[in-house]
Amino acid sequence: MRDSVEEELKDLPQVWVDLLNSMPDIKEEFISDKKLNSGEMISPYFFSYFMEDYKSCAPFFLCFERGKEVFDALYELYGEGESAEPSDKNIDEKKLKELLARHLDGMNYLLKMKGKNTYSIHEMEIRELSEEEFENEYDLGDIESEDIRRCCGQIMRHNILPKADENPIVKFQEALYELTLNYNLIFYILWPLGKVDDVENPYKAYVELWRRGIKPYIINKNSLVAVR
């Protein structure tokens, strides 16, 4: 019969239990946090155990299909516990418009799966605003970006990503949210699990903008704002 500690890990794949058994200090924290977050297979604070070097958590990904691609995307953004933003955030108007158009294409790809309205960069006024200017002019609840984000998130969860019994890595979503506070980054990281190999990651352009300190907001079909 499993002891009380093992009972806390009974919902985990055996390979993860074995990894935790080889990391007794992390295992203790992991179990303690699972008790506080009942119902979660993976502690929301999982990545905080590896902040000194995220490479240490790579084995939890590499043991499942497409795990290396997921971990590489995670490490690309948060290697060594730091956001991988380049020091040079300069971007010319042509490159900005290219990235915004690719961002729209990525969201359109997902939106089409549910027959939702799509967007064309050629029909939109593009404005650049500071964070303060954006907050003074818009309420997130009144623009279409938030509806798009939620819709695309549902499509990712229900139409793209596998179920946990097919690939347990999908259960890292809450832990990734604790790390990123950004579902667009989460779905960029998890995209390889969907095994859609003939389409560019729909969140790739968003990440390229994010790494330059730019946040794109779709106001409506006629307006797009780049905030930095």
- Sign, CA dihedral 138-142-144-145, equals positive
Q: 50: which 2 tokens?
A: 């590896």
175, 43 Cβ separation under 8 angstroms: yes
Q: Is the pLDDT of residue 81 over 70?
A: no
pTM comes to 0.93
Structure confidence at residue 80 (pLDDT):
58
Q: Residues 32-59, buried b or exposed e (16+ Cβ, 10 A)?
A: ebbeeeeebbbbbbbbebbeeebeebbb
Tens digits of per-residue pLDDT, 139-172? 999 999 999 999 999 999 999 999 999 999 999 9
pLDDT for 143 equals: 96
pLDDT tens digits for range 84-122: 555 456 789 999 999 999 999 999 999 999 999 999 999
* H helix or E strand, kind and range, residue 209: helix 204-210
Between CA 206 and CA 194 the distance in angstroms is 18
Q: Which structure tokens are listed for 132?
A: 């303060």
Distance of CA 138 to the CA centre of its chain: 24
DSSP state of 160: I
